[in-house]
Structure 1
Amino acid sequence: MTDQALTEDFKKATAYELTDHDIERAHLLLGVDMASRDQEQIGTATVDNIRSFAYACGSDNPLFCNPEYAAGTRWGSVIAPSMMAGVINRPMLGDPMNAELKANTKSLFRGIHMFISGGEWTFYRPIFPGDTLYSFGGEDGLEVKQSEFAGRSVTRFNSQIKVNQRGEVVSVYRYRAILTERKKARETGKYKDISPAQYSDEDLARIDEIYSAETSRGATPLYFDDLNVGDALPGGASGPLTVTDVVNFHGGGYGWVPYGLRTGRMWNQNRKRIAPFYVKNAQGIPDVAQRLHWDSDWAKAIGNPMAYDYGVMRENYLFRYLTDWVGDGGWVYKQYDEIRKFNYMGDTQFISGEVVGKREENGLFLVDVKLKMVNQRGEDTVLCDAVVALPSRTQGALVLPEPPTDLKVRAARMMARHWELSAGKQNK
């Protein structure tokens, strides 16, 4: 869509600016622990939604997808890909935000474009069918800087602690949310010369060959003792990216809150709730701003050459790659990634990795690996540092990591308050 073709509604949607006032107000939220009241599309894990989420991430690992197979593993049943914790949430009851703080941070960064540029996951416990997840946390960092893509930008760091119904800390996710002004991103035109990828039969054959060689290690153990610093991990791939991939990812459970994708009467109600999130398309129909992940005209309107993925999709693809590598007897403990480039429709990501360290720590046998994704243009799009825990030939089976004591105390306190308030609601 050219500038001449932009509707007035498009132009209004790109007029919101980052203000010093909003940046000052954002600092008020730092260090404030809040119970998450969000009801995600999935609140409790089941065999079926675990399989659906795994498929949405391109994984057919039988540990996630085949109950008969998984029953014979050390876990005794299907478990969820650990990153599924990001899409499982039932409302946690807790004390409300201070009224003054709530008033002082209302409509913060209204209308400003936001995207996730990566984050850090720490995984402590598996998610089994029947597990319900709750979460708490909040903003714990804020940076203001100049963005090559869009002038001034704000990075907000948010940590969410995921807890199951037994009060166990399952995982912690600390992500980076980048806020940029849509108008400035469009005016810079940094990526305007990128053209959609085109594939010959030879190009597709190369990708087919990589996929054909990929496999889950499954029951074949990967031992700590057998790895050496400098060992290369097997090659992997993800793509070419299509709108179907984005649809599948939403179908697997992603993206229900805080904005929501709604239909019919619920669409109408949601527009009234968060009007700036809805921008008219070329037909004059108000549609969600996040459609830049499947609507290339809207993506162009805010400075990109075409639609692109959610960064969290690539985080999940890297997790899929790691779990295939470590097999049933290993555990992906930490995954830190930095998303350096957009992944546009048609792009393919080629995955490679290397062992960069080994150590024993608190009874764990840990291996450090570096991974990266490189697109068909030869650009590094994601850099990743991961830590996996493995069994040892000489010392025995896998040991899971323990959450820090202070984190377990915080989780216990938040869940105790949740159950207290839940009982109070039931007694009314």
Structure 2
Amino acid sequence: MADDSGTATAEKKDVRESEEWQKAVEYSITDEDIERQNKLLGYYQPAKTREYIQTATTDNIRNFAHGCGDDNPLFCDPEYARGTRWGSVIAPGMMTGVINSPMKGDPTPDEIRALKKSLFKGVHVFVSGSKWNFYRPVFPGDTIYSYNGDETCEVKQSEFSGRSVITVRKDVKVNQRGEVVAVYRILRVLTERKTAAKKGKYADLKPAEYDDAAIAEIDEVYANEKVRGAEPRLFDDVTVGDSLGKMAKGPLTVTDVICFHAGGYGFVPYAPTVGRLAYKNRMRIPAFYIKNEYGVPDVAQRLHWDPVWAQAIGNPMAYDYGVMRENYLWHYLNDWAGDDGVITYVHDEIRKFNYMGDVQFVTGEVTGKREEGGQNLVDVEVRFINQRDTETVKANATIALPKKKGIAMYPEVPRELAEEAAEMMARHWELSKR
């Protein structure tokens, strides 16, 4: 209940005392779940979800970049971008992962439906890293479709959450011309909420606090960040051991998470929704909704902004989405590579949580350079270190750079993959005519 001013008058309760929370933590990873998951490996199907963004535009590209703290004019300023080799604004590469228009395909076989029904119900999912192969940019007007399936499934014992399952899902991202834009492999860790809540591995971790001097030190990093931009970074001028510079991200706030969602991260089909849409979503996936301390059903993913719920499942405070730091990684790499560079491969490992109040300092160095398949490639390693001097992300990437004569190119799509994607899109267009 609330009084006329809108002030809550009901006494707050410990969310862990609610019936919904008790049910939520009862869900376990079962041998049957693991057996069913293994039977699904290698089965790929069209992604029928409609993400917040289905077609790239000048505006949503800019908004997505801004949602990641990236003001690179290649993404944000059409007039500037017209003067680059691309002739237009292009999307930050990892934005490809959040664009999706429903792809049509043949009905899912009954045996696959049965395997997927309530699989790992109520189990918490962490994104723990990814691998990207990039084959072409996304321009305004490009619609992205995808098909996906799980490649691997591994059972482990986790220090934080006891028994866990690690899966790799492969998403093939295709544009409206049937061209492969990227392949996105997502490393997901599935854990039992009850185990995570009991372990409390990070329970003694204290929120970061900053005085004016500490904020000034972070601001100095921001002030010295460089966007390479229009000045080509040439392969000939790069040396193994070169620094990629230093970037700051944070201190993390709830505002950062809101901006990331507002920029286009939909988290579909589990997206935060409002009013009647939230009601319909709750009817569709009731296990995803757990009452808060006021007795209101709310999404389980609120652990990214609600410290009470985060603590209820074993974390000391709310924390970011792993994909936020993956996009920060792209920002860092692209600032160094410049407009003429092409990021062809990224592999990141999300090693620790990024809690509210944490700041990430991003550094990297060149670890190798080579000529391969007509490409001039530079290999780099990148680390995210927080204010506790803890490594939270480790990554490596490959970037194609131009020589003094010539331009850097994307790699060719493997023939089998190109044919597979073309067939999927041909079937989509065939079904779309009916």
Is this a same-fold pair by TM over 0.5?
Answer: yes
Q: For 1:43, give the aligned amino acid.
A: Q
Given candidates 412, 421, 428, the residue that maps to 1:418 is: 428
Q: Any residues of structure 2 matched to 1:230-379 within 5 Å, and which?
A: 230-379=241-390
CA-CA distance at 1:238 after TM superposition? 0.5
Secondary structure at the aligned position of 2:402 is classed as coil
Query: Aligned in 2, Cα 1:144/1:108: closer, same or farther, shift over 3 Å?
Result: same
Structure 2 partner of 1:406:
416
CA deviation map 1:41-97 (0-9, x unaligned):
110000000000000010000000000000000000100101111111000111122
Given candidates 17, 21, 26, the residue that maps to 2:28 is: 17
Given candidates 398, 412, 433, the residue that maps to 1:387 is: 398
Whether contact under 8 Å (1:370, 1:384) holds in the other structure is: yes
Structure 1 partner of 2:211:
200
What is the rounded CA distance, in whole Å, between the counterparts of 2:207 and 2:308 in structure 1?
A: 13
CA-CA distance at 1:3 after TM superposition? 6.9
What is the rounded CA distance, in whole Å, between the counterparts of 1:200 and 1:10 in structure 2?
A: 37
- Number of matched pairs: 423
What is the rounded CA distance, in whole Å, between the counterparts of 1:105 and 1:87 in structure 2?
A: 23
What is the rounded CA distance, in whole Å, between the counterparts of 1:31 and 1:341 in structure 2?
A: 30
Secondary structure at the aligned position of 1:234 is classed as strand
Given candidates 140, 155, 158, the residue that maps to 2:151 is: 140
Whether contact under 8 Å (2:70, 2:331) holds in the other structure is: yes
Query: Aligned in 2, Cα 1:144/1:5: closer, same or farther, shift over 3 Å?
Result: closer
CA-CA distance at 1:255 after TM superposition? 2.4
Does residue 154 (structure 1) correspond to residue 165 (structure 2)? The answer is yes
Secondary structure at the aligned position of 1:235 is classed as strand
What is the rounded CA distance, in whole Å, between the counterparts of 2:409 and 2:110 in structure 1?
A: 44
Unaligned runs of 5+ in 1: none
Whether contact under 8 Å (1:6, 1:301) holds in the other structure is: no
Given candidates 48, 52, 70, the residue that maps to 1:41 is: 52
Q: For 2:197, give the aligned amino acid.
A: R
Q: For 1:347, give the aligned amino acid.
A: D
What is the rounded CA distance, in whole Å, between the counterparts of 1:275 and 1:3 in structure 2?
A: 20
CA-CA distance at 1:100 after TM superposition? 1.7
CA-CA distance at 1:333 after TM superposition? 0.9
CA-CA distance at 1:305 after TM superposition? 0.1
What is the rounded CA distance, in whole Å, between the counterparts of 2:241 and 2:98 in structure 1?
A: 35
Unaligned runs of 5+ in 2: 1-11
TM superposition score normalised by structure 1: 0.97
CA deviation map 1:9-60 (0-9, x unaligned):
2222111111001110111110011011010011000000000000001000
Given candidates 113, 116, 126, the residue that maps to 1:105 is: 116
Given candidates 221, 242, 265, the residue that maps to 2:232 is: 221
Q: For 2:423, give the aligned amino acid.
A: R
Given candidates 38, 56, 64, the residue that maps to 1:53 is: 64
CA-CA distance at 1:296 after TM superposition? 0.4
Query: Aligned in 2, Cα 1:345/1:4: closer, same or farther, shift over 3 Å?
Result: closer
Q: For 1:337, give the aligned amino acid.
A: D
Q: For 2:165, give the aligned amino acid.
A: V
CA-CA distance at 1:4 after TM superposition? 8.8
TM superposition score normalised by structure 2: 0.96
CA-CA distance at 1:2 after TM superposition? 9.8
What is the rounded CA distance, in whole Å, between the counterparts of 2:268 and 2:410 in structure 1?
A: 31
Does residue 26 (structure 1) correspond to residue 37 (structure 2)? The answer is yes
Does residue 62 (structure 1) correspond to residue 73 (structure 2)? The answer is yes
What is the rounded CA distance, in whole Å, between the counterparts of 2:15 and 2:339 in structure 1?
A: 55
What is the rounded CA distance, in whole Å, between the counterparts of 1:83 and 1:270 in structure 2?
A: 27
Structure 1 partner of 2:3:
none
CA deviation map 1:326-375 (0-9, x unaligned):
11010111110001100000000001101001011111110000000000
Task: Identify which range, 54-63 or 90-99, moves more after superposition.
Answer: 90-99
Given candidates 189, 193, 203, the residue that maps to 1:182 is: 193
Q: For 2:356, give the aligned amino acid.
A: M
Q: For 1:9, give the aligned amino acid.
A: E
CA-CA distance at 1:5 after TM superposition? 6.0
Q: For 1:416, give the aligned amino acid.
A: A
Whether contact under 8 Å (2:362, 2:383) holds in the other structure is: yes
What is the rounded CA distance, in whole Å, between the counterparts of 1:251 and 1:309 in structure 2?
A: 15
Query: Aligned in 2, Cα 1:43/1:5: closer, same or farther, shift over 3 Å?
Result: closer
What is the rounded CA distance, in whole Å, between the counterparts of 1:5 and 1:157 in structure 2?
A: 31
